[in-house]
Chains A and B, each alone.
Chain A
Amino acid sequence: MLDITKQSLSELIKNIKNKKLSSTEVTKAFVERSEKSKELNAYVTEDFSAAIDKAKKFDENPNLDLKLPGIPMAVKDLFCTKNVKTTAGSKILNNFIPTYESTVTQNIWNEGAILLGKLNCDEFAMGSSNETSFFGCVQNPIDKDLVPGGSSGGSSSAVAAQLTPITIGTDTGGSIRQPASFTGIVGLKPTYGSCSRYGIVAFASSLDQAGPMAQNVRDCALLHEVISSYDEKDSTSIDFKRNNYVRELTNNIKGKKIGIPKEYRVDAMPKEIEDLWKKGIDYVKDCGAEIIDISLPHTNYALPTYYIVAPAEASSNLARYDGVKYGFRADGENLIDMYEKTRSEGFGAEVQRRIMIGTYVLSSGYYDAYYLKAQKVRKLIKNDFDEAYKKVDAILTPSTPSSAFKIGEKTNDPVSMYLNDIFTVPVNLAGLPGISIPAGHDAKGYPLGLQIIGKAFDEQNILNIAYAMEEKINFKNKITDWWIK
């Protein structure tokens, strides 16, 4: 048998069900590896001894009919976990201990999984490199001093480094797919309304979605099946019949029509990404799918639209952090002074920047010129996809315009950081599902991802295409455990 931490989620489940492994053995193995991997800074909060206790308890009377029987799992620190500190990567929530559980994490525990700890992320999920976290940046296990992507950077690093068999992240503009691409793993952003937002620290409520990050497509499908549910506690949760995503997983994609949007051939895209995309096209052709050239004419307007809509919603969502009800409080001479100091000391630079942008675009005299304009362009972007989906079943694009960059490389230039999300942001604006799968390496040996975008609620289809491509690509992540002394 392979080393425990080298096994995929599906293998671990099989071994626990066959009683070849106990939950305690599996949990201890991931705890040990996590303890040896502190240099990656993937965890904000470790809950290791409680995890081992829960695993022992599971083994006393194991329910092997569950979907995640006794599987240890660390989750992004944006999900509220009852009685376990939840920081959103921010100083302002550094002492926040939720008294309730997010719906998606509750769904995971209901299927038998065990919380290992909380994973680092960009502050309030605002970032593309995990460098905006109050708890410091995270190392990409691919190479030292390389960002793991963001905002779910602790999550991508932890899955790639095998500190957790699988995890969940959140994706507002690419925060699952971009870090998955940077670390050579699979990441799915589900359709808006598929997974409940209840108990997830809010960033931009019309865009935020939780989703799985995994070592392979099958594991990803399984976790998606667990977390996707209708929830009356989230008024935007949608009541539709969810698939049995694993049972219906197939590599037969014969006759599927796959669109290639010409607008995604952006200026200055490295040739190796262009080549990877072509290879991806060949793979799906080999599987019997049909390639169709399509146009998404408003692609270039997606990022400017996003940088109005997301900060506007964030400025409103983050108004709640006032030093009164929970979180950090700074001393002030009076109430207003206390508010202003609390928010100035409690939020980091990127969060303050986005609150200011959002406040400005919503302020009197500018609302029509910015916010309303952005909502109109968002409609045009969604119309582009609606038109395209009259002709195709899914769309294939690169996940990111580059491979992972060095820590510190883009921190002084917010716009160049934002450009990282050029291929992922349109998907959030249109509320569609998108999956990133590892598809190759660049000249430096860093992983590169391809993205498959689906119709709303058609996760099964993009999972199937990803599954068929995965088999052809046969990707192997190059990880040397350099951080383990």
Chain B
Amino acid sequence: MIVCDIFNYHMSIDLKTIKHISKLSRISVDEKKAEKLAGDLNSIFEFIEKLNELKTDNVQPLTSVAETTLKLRDDQVKSKNLREQIIKNSPQENEDYFVVPKVIE
């Protein structure tokens, strides 16, 4: 794990971290790709670290630019009988089900 001081860290993303993120992202990476990604991500994060110049302790995070409350609507079914449409683009299906590699032994 990388230990970092929140206001002043010069961190670097190592291959172990890349492997960890790749697992979380469900994207397989080989050694060569991992090295390239580590280089790219380090230069991007170096650029991102600029944010640490700003003190933001008393700032409320912005979660939505619109600043309106979401509209409520009646809980009604508006589209039905979509089974065929939903399954239409699947890479493999069988009798109205998506087919995936075997998950239970």
Contact = CB atoms under 8 A, between A and B. Distances in A.
A356 B22 contact: yes
A95 B89 contact: yes
Interface in B1-15: 1, 4, 6, 13
A324 B68 CA distance: 36
A395 to B, nearest CB: 17
B94 interface: no
Given A235-B70, A334-B101, A340-B26, A375 B62 contact: yes
B22 A323 contact: no
B25 A356 contact: yes
A256 interface: no
A19 interface: no
A445 interface: no
Contact of A304 (B50, B60, B88, B98): B50
A139 interface: no
Contacts of A264: none
Contact of A339 (B18, B26, B43): B26
Interface string A92-128: 0001110110000000000000000000000000000
Interface stretch (A24-32, A40-48, A214-222, A366-374): A366-374
Contacts of A323: 91
Contacts of A414: 40, 43-44
A289 interface: no
B81 interface: no
Interface residues of B: mostly helix, strand, loop or mixed?
loop
A79 interface: no
B41 A329 contact: no
A333 interface: yes
Contact of B47 (A304, A356, A377): A304
B98 A324 contact: yes
A347 to B, nearest CB: 7
A370 B62 CA distance: 14
A360 B53 CA distance: 21
Interface stretch (A242-250, A273-281, A378-386): A378-386
A357 interface: yes
B65 interface: yes
A235 B44 CA distance: 32
Interface string B35-47: 0010011011001
Interface string B64-85: 1110101101000000000001
Contact of B60 (A238, A379, A431): A379
B28 A356 contact: no
Contact of B48 (A100, A307, A344): A307
Given A232-B73, A375-B62, A414-B43, A333 B101 contact: yes
Interface string A289-315: 000000000101101110110000001
B90 A347 contact: no
Contacts of A356: 18, 21-22, 25, 27, 37, 41
Contact of B29 (A192, A236, A344, A375): A344
Given A301-B54, A360-B21, A430-B65, A332 B73 contact: no
A355 interface: yes
A415 interface: yes
Contact of A96 (B18, B47, B89): B89
Given A335-B100, A341-B28, A376-B59, A304 B48 contact: yes
Nearest to A382: B62
A382 B65 contact: yes
Interface in A370-408: 370, 372-380, 382
A338 interface: yes
Nearest to A307: B48
A245 to B, nearest CB: 21
B102 interface: yes
Contacts of B29: 344
A326 interface: yes
Given A341-B28, A343-B27, 9 more contacts: A232-B73, A238-B68, A305-B51, A326-B91, A335-B100, A339-B26, A356-B37, A376-B59, A377-B59
8 contacts: A206-B64, A307-B47, A329-B91, A352-B27, A353-B37, A353-B41, A359-B21, A382-B62
